[in-house]
Structure 1
Amino acid sequence: MTALCACSLALASGAASAQSSVTLYGEIDGGLAYVNNVADHALYKFTTGVIDGSFWGLEGTEDLGGGMKAVFKLERGFSIATGEGFNDHPYYVGLGTDTLGTITLGHQYDSIHDYFAPFTLTGGTGGTAFAHPFDNDNANNSFLASNSIKYTSETYAGFSFGGLYAFSNEAGQFANNRAWSVGANYSLGPFSAGAAYLHNNGRGNTAGGAYEPLNLPGPDRTVFSANVQRQNTFGVGASYVIGELTVAGAFSRSINSGVTNADTGDPASSIALNNYEINATYQLTPAIALAGMYNYTNGSGVHWHQGAVQVDYLLSKRTDVYLESIYQRASSGAPAVINTNDPASGNNQLMVAMGIRHRF
């Protein structure tokens, strides 16, 4: 028994020394919110993940020698209100070098998240509730790409780029629910800019493909789950830093054609949506950050106006409290729905939320 224990300790020690680093990290976010105009009533609710969503993660690297390293990441979202788990975070394994970039395989963010979303407030400090209507451009990464292989470059003189391909995993249906995306970013001093493009065939047609069905606006203020035969989304954005102030602008267009209702199979109209956003963040004091945005979305004969503000106060390096408000007004016949909420009874919706967030 003594010899067996000694052997086990030696093996464990060897495995530990081979692994360069492993980090446990995460975030817990909870609070309270008021939302008006839901089923003709005001809604008071406990919230979990109004900004980033609660999650835990493990990531690590192993030095393989010759400038090469192995990398991995495992994250899992969850609700602190119910304990329910969410499949809304990445997990992957891959190889990389400090000069040629990194290739990873798994369940991952696409290029919209990596190169466009940082110029929107939903992809930055604003978080989940600041998403464009229905998160139609995936700037809030409502969907991650399954069965994906991804390349991310290093930064060369301020320029970086990458791409992703996600397999359908269906025999004889190589292009049915597969996706690919590309993007690039450039930074020079206080100026940054980025662009990304995402293409998907047969989105939501299969259960094990690249993406699940997505929510789209329907007639008479409805929202429906849709399979899309062809989806093309592109976005461009830029930002500029002036002292403690950062101003940014972003434009995206999401084109969905060959649309069918995922629940009934009935055909629906093609939907193309444009998003125009301006936003700003200001570090008022080392502990207080202010943020605000305005977004206009239009297409297919309808439109939405959305404005939002946020105040964040650091209690420590890892714990903060926040207060935010989002207002959305839709045109006649369009559903007003702030991300993470049920559709409004009318054409406007207001959300006021406060919470506490802890990172570990």
Structure 2
Amino acid sequence: MRKFTIAASALAGIAALPAHAQTSVVLYGLIDQGLAYTSNVQTGRTAGALKGKQQFALSDGAAGIGGSRWGVKGAEELGGGYQAIFTLENGFNINTGGLAQGGLMFGRQAFVGLAAPVGRLTFGRQYSIVADMLAPFSEAGEIPSHMGANPGDFDDLGHSFRLNNTIKFRSTDFHGVTIGGMYSVGGLAGAPSRNQIWSLAATYAMGPFSAGVGYTNARDPNLSYFGTNGNAGSSNTDNMGTIGTTATSVQTNPIYSGFASANTMQLLIAGTKYRFGGLTVGGTYTHASYDGLGDTTAGPNPAKYSGTAIINNGEINVSYAFTPALSVNASYGYTHKASIGSFGEATYNQGTLAASYLLSKRTELYAFAIYQKASGTDSLGQPAVASITQLTASSNNKQLLVRVGIVHTF
């Protein structure tokens, strides 16, 4: 009887809402499945030397052009051009049925907010505003998506990371100009600056030309920026990657995983694009600095680094649409890690070639190849190994990925 009373009261409350308070809720998703060949992935080490083998795998879109997901989003009309909005988005692996993002139920996105004529203000777990606004200028915004990102996706243009406890604003387009800002609240009592992140971004688009710039400042990035998945650890854990010290463990993100003890990470990203009919040419520049190395309250420091580590990247990408259904694109990127103390510099050259064909508005076939070659000394103090985004790092300085797949959205 009590359940019936509560339900009746709820229905009565809904009926009493103003007529203009119309609500829409949409279930949506994406499934990406593909076959991939990788020329070399680490399998462990023998007598301290890295070992690797070729790999042929059926893999989810986390290693494709779009991680598989499903979500619910809604909007309630509040009148006067205002809406209450929300999104809950889950990531999963189609081959195992397991949860992505370290096992989080809504690990991809979870936010609520307001939309107004001037823009959107949202609160929760969200993508970086800089990644949102600058990714379209990069190869990560083209056919290979996040797999075409810079080595290890160190600048997040491939949307590899989500930020917790965020307040994000993105304006509407005003004469071609869009601005955005984000603040991630650290939440530590007595230490308001610990684990905080703030970002600003702006873009301009008019006719065939567009350009943008963004800046991110992350305190204790090993925890605040890279440590937001469900399987992340404390300051004793390297959330930026793994260093592969045992006979069977492998390395991830060796380009920057040695910098977990940084007190602050700064990212400055600029990009531009120009369209000539069916041809689009774009380019990006990223400057990343990992400042105050040696802060073990932020993360481990096995290499005993101090000072600042710098990574710079330049990329150019070209796309051409032969028809509304058939597109191809290619890119080249050069990444340079400056020397740190007694450790030398490292360079990464990466090329991508990709094609996609739309069978319908919801179904796409794609194929791409990515080749990366590394040289010098990486963040782990070892001879630099190739590390294509979303893949296990190579055991040597070269890595080739070839993938064919299908994407269906709903």
TM-score (norm 2): 0.80
**Distance change (3 Å), C-alpha of 1:28 and 1:209:** closer
What residue number does 1:105 align with?
123
CA distances 1:36-76 after superposition (whole Å, capped 9, x unpaired): 12243211111111101111111121111233211111111
How far off its partner does 1:298 sit?
0.4
**Greater alpha carbon shift after TM alignment, 104-113 vs 160-169:** 104-113
Does residue 30 of the first structure (1) align with residue 33 of the second (2)? yes
SS at match of 2:385: coil
RMSD: 2.8
Do 2:268 and 2:286's aligned partners in 1 also have CA atoms closer than 8 Å?
yes
Do 1:169 and 1:209's aligned partners in 2 also have CA atoms closer than 8 Å?
no
Give the partner amino acid of 1:95.
L
Do 2:372 and 2:386's aligned partners in 1 also have CA atoms closer than 8 Å?
yes
What residue number does 2:115 align with?
96
**Distance change (3 Å), C-alpha of 1:305 and 1:207:** closer
**Distance change (3 Å), C-alpha of 1:170 and 1:119:** same
**Greater alpha carbon shift after TM alignment, 36-45 vs 341-350:** 36-45
What residue number does 2:293 align with?
259
Write the distance in 1 (CA, Å) between the matches of 2:363 and 2:226: 38
**Distance change (3 Å), C-alpha of 1:116 and 1:7:** closer
User: Where do residues 196-275 of structure 1 align in structure 2 (5 Å cutoff)?
Assistant: 196-205=214-223, 213-215=239-241, 223=254, 224=257, 226-259=260-293, 264-266=300-302, 267-268=304-305, 270-275=308-313
What residue number does 1:42 align with?
54
Write the distance in 1 (CA, Å) between the matches of 2:77 and 2:14: 18
Select the residue among 310, 317, 320 that pairs with 2:361.
317
Do 1:120 and 1:250's aligned partners in 2 also have CA atoms closer than 8 Å?
yes
**Distance change (3 Å), C-alpha of 1:199 and 1:209:** same
Write the distance in 2 (CA, Å) between the matches of 1:101 and 1:207: 25
Give the partner amino acid of 1:45.
A
**Greater alpha carbon shift after TM alignment, 302-311 vs 133-142:** 133-142
How far off its partner does 1:345 sit?
1.4
Write the distance in 1 (CA, Å) between the matches of 2:242 and 2:283: 24
Write the distance in 1 (CA, Å) between the matches of 2:112 and 2:224: 24
What residue number does 2:373 align with?
329
Higher strand share: 1
- Give unmatched runs, 5+ long, in structure 2: 43-51, 102-106, 233-238, 246-250, 339-344, 377-382
**Greater alpha carbon shift after TM alignment, 157-166 vs 199-208:** 199-208
SS at match of 1:339: coil
Do 2:218 and 2:224's aligned partners in 1 also have CA atoms closer than 8 Å?
no
Write the distance in 1 (CA, Å) between the matches of 2:201 and 2:243: 27
TM-score (norm 1): 0.90
Write the distance in 1 (CA, Å) between the matches of 2:371 and 2:312: 19
Do 1:136 and 1:216's aligned partners in 2 also have CA atoms closer than 8 Å?
no
CA distances 1:144-168 after superposition (whole Å, capped 9, x unpaired): 1110111111111010101000011
User: Where do residues 170-181 of structure 1 align in structure 2 (5 Å cutoff)?
Assistant: 170-181=188-199
Do 1:277 and 1:293's aligned partners in 2 also have CA atoms closer than 8 Å?
yes
Write the distance in 2 (CA, Å) between the matches of 1:157 and 1:312: 32
SS at match of 2:220: strand
**Greater alpha carbon shift after TM alignment, 266-275 vs 171-180:** 266-275
How far off its partner does 1:264 sit?
4.7
CA distances 1:178-205 after superposition (whole Å, capped 9, x unpaired): 1000000101101010110000111124
**Greater alpha carbon shift after TM alignment, 225-234 vs 72-81:** 225-234
**Distance change (3 Å), C-alpha of 1:339 and 1:210:** closer
What residue number does 1:122 align with?
140
User: Where do residues 278-357 of structure 1 align in structure 2 (5 Å cutoff)?
Assistant: 278-300=316-338, 301-332=345-376, 333-357=383-407
Do 1:177 and 1:210's aligned partners in 2 also have CA atoms closer than 8 Å?
no
SS at match of 1:122: helix
Write the distance in 2 (CA, Å) between the matches of 1:329 and 1:207: 27
**Residues matched between the structures, number:** 357
How far off its partner does 1:101 sit?
1.7
CA distances 1:303-357 after superposition (whole Å, capped 9, x unpaired): 0000011111111111111111000000142121111111111100000001111
**Distance change (3 Å), C-alpha of 1:264 and 1:97:** closer
Question: Identity, % of aligned pairs?
Answer: 38
How far off its partner does 1:246 sit?
1.0
What residue number does 1:21 align with?
24
Do 1:203 and 1:210's aligned partners in 2 also have CA atoms closer than 8 Å?
no
Do 1:217 and 1:335's aligned partners in 2 also have CA atoms closer than 8 Å?
no
